[in-house]
Amino acid sequence: MNRNDYVALLDRIAAAGEDSRIHYLSGARTGAHDPWDPTTDAPGQPVTGLGSACRDVGGDLVFVETLKGTPHLVIAGAGHVGVAVAHLGVLLGFRVIVVDERPEFADPARLPGVAEVLCGDYGTTLAALPPYGNACYVLVTPGHRMDREAAAACLARPSEYVGMIGSRGKCATVRAALTSQGISPDAVARLRAPIGLELGGREPAEIAVAIAAEIIQVRARSGARSFDPNVATGIRALAAAAGRPAVLATIVGHGGSVPRGAGSRMLVDASGPVAGSVGGGPIEAESIAHALALLADPDAQGVGVQDYELSNAQGAELGMICGGRVRVLFERL
């Protein structure tokens, strides 16, 4: 991929919340990329010792990944629990949106740091929000009808998480009502209700912690990662400076104990590292040196991979004894 490809990727992530790609590391399509549906099986087979993202497809290497944008947290209901969840969402780095149909509750003064406070009917207002794949919905409205309307709107759109507060009996009633509305069983099954991990607390702040913990757990288990915002800023700056060559180093596979995992990126120009990291220490120094060598050689290939073995003689030379292996993709931008 070139710098314009990456800018387009960043734009898609910003608009939709996520983007999944197959990057071709070798073979006739080296340097190309295709969209990938992460709900389907990844192509080929994992390369032994390099995790599941680096794969062998008929002898050619590919790297598959799903990248996320800024996570959105949409809260329906601005009562005590909703306000507490909003405070935690801001602290955790979410772009928080709060919806409440009661004007006295939909007051930005009660919700410092929240990006948007919307006053309106729950179902209609939620349905009117732009679809965003990297979104989590927390339904803490004051009644069954509002919960049902909010859940129907949220289950009809892309999301990472939809959770609803309530007793088991209330949640069963809402699920049955959603099914009777014609919402598919698969969609209804996505509703996490009662919401939150069972931590035992009953105060609004304690319930909010349980909800936030469940959201963190769900997001961590998805395996997706965010594109490093500092690297993204650097790439956008490059796109505006055509005469400034650079190399993007990306970890595309790893095994064993390593400092950084697949998808970690570092941007390097002729002056050295600009943003990001592929692990720090000697392995990063080697990656920087390789990137600088590529920039200094006008005949160097635009795309290539390097392996760093951290458990053999090469690892000893690098001063690394953690016993892992890292494969790094280098792309001239």
pLDDT of residue 312: 54
pLDDT of residue 297: 92
pLDDT of residue 195: 95
Return the amino acid letter for 172.
A
Tens of pLDDT along 54-105? 999 999 999 999 998 889 999 999 999 999 999 999 999 999 999 999 999 9
Tens of pLDDT along 134-144? 899 999 999 88
The model's pTM is 0.78
Domain regions of the chain by residue span: 3-67+227-332, 72-221
CATH topology of domain 72-221: Rossmann fold (3.40.50)
pLDDT of residue 213: 97
Average pLDDT, the chain: 91
Q: Residue 58 in contact with residue 21, Cβ under 8 Å? A: no
Q: Residue 7 in contact with residue 239, Cβ under 8 Å? A: yes
Tens of pLDDT along 265-274? 999 999 999 9
Three-state secondary structure readout of 248-281: EEEEEEEECECCCCCCCEEEEECCEEEEECCCCH
* Ranges in the chain, pLDDT < 50: 315
